[in-house]
Amino acid sequence: MKSTISRRRFVTISAAACGTAVFGRFATALPLTQWRGTALGAAASIRLRHPEASRIIAAARAEIDRLENIFSLYRADSQLSKLNQNRRLDHAAFELLELLGLCGSLNAATGGRFDPSVQPLWTLYAETYSTGSAPTRGQIDDTLRRVGWGHVVVDSGAVSFARPGMALTLNGIAQGFIADKVAGLLQAEGLRDVLVETGEFRAVGGHPDGGGWPVALRGGAGNAADQRLQLQDMALATSAVSGTVFDRAALVGHILDPVTGQPAPARWSHVSVLAPSAALADGLSTAMCLMSAEEIERVVAAFANARAIYG
């Protein structure tokens, strides 16, 4: 699942018109406000038009920070870090329990390809490649004994591991989950026509000037043309095997098969998923990097209003 670690952008806002419009009872024309920052280490942004944009964006930034304190692997005091360190977390945050529930559903729907318990395998690859070597088959097999969603136990608000040495990463789904939560916060403020990006995209409504939010998917291998999409009440997530790599030659991608322990093959330059939920799109796009075209189409067909774009 989702280090040298480099990141490449496969999705861009192809246009962000900053025109003006009359907002409800306010007589003045308002510009489109855009905030840029980070969320779980990924580029983040919020685009909206509102007379109280500064206040609303501050609330959204506070929500992103709150959720990072639950899901981040890089904050030592986050709930996820405490779970990985102690093998048990009592009184887990509702959002962690909610997301783990979705992880379980995606694990089942993808035949085990989506599996956040792959973190020990990710650590093995990162540590061995940092020394200039690849993990051996024996190391991989030994590490796989500590991988398996069926050994993650959620019971009465507590989360624990049934086997020693286990750990979770939510990097293949938490960015989308955060986008959904921020979008929900903005909707509670009465906003429509907002675009939230936290590594993945979640559109509430469309563009304030009409139509959807224009987004371009970069063309991939073979000089394929960019694909231009209009996001409206929809989420978009993209995963790419080479988006983050372990080795200096950029040949060993970061998405790892929890069954074989091997990196995803360079079958697809990227997999993008459109779905009503950014968390769902994020998790599916991660798992689908490990799938054939036939498997991708079979899995995506099980989810209403979802579509996969890959190549």
Q: Which residues have CB under 8 Å from 205's CB, separation 6+?
A: 192, 193, 194, 232, 233
| Range(s) of the domain holding residue 281 | 11-15+31-310
> Does residue 2 sit within a domain?
no
- pLDDT band at residue 11 using 50, 70 and 90 as cut-offs: low
56: domain CATH number? 3.10.520.10
The pLDDT value given to residue 79: 98
Residue 187 belongs to a domain? yes
**Prediction pTM value:** 0.90
22-32 pLDDT tens trace: 334 333 468 99
> 168 is written with which tokens?
């979770």
Both tokens of 179, joined, read 């986008």
Domain contains 214: yes
Lowest-confidence pick of 7-11, 92-96, 202-206, 266-270: 7-11
In a domain, 4, yes or no: no
Q: What is the DSSP string of 91-138?
A: S--HHHHHHHHHHHHHHHHTTT---GGGHHHHHHHHHHHHTT-PPPHH
First to last CA, the chain: 19
Q: Is residue 261 part of a domain?
A: yes
pLDDT score of 109 more than 70: yes
Residue 56 lies in a domain: yes
pLDDT for 13-63, tens place per residue? 554 433 333 334 333 468 999 999 999 999 999 999 999 999 999 999 999
Structural domain contains residue 21: no
Poorest-confidence range of 125-139, 155-169, 232-246?
Answer: 232-246
Domain count, the chain: 1
Q: Is residue 6 in a domain?
A: no
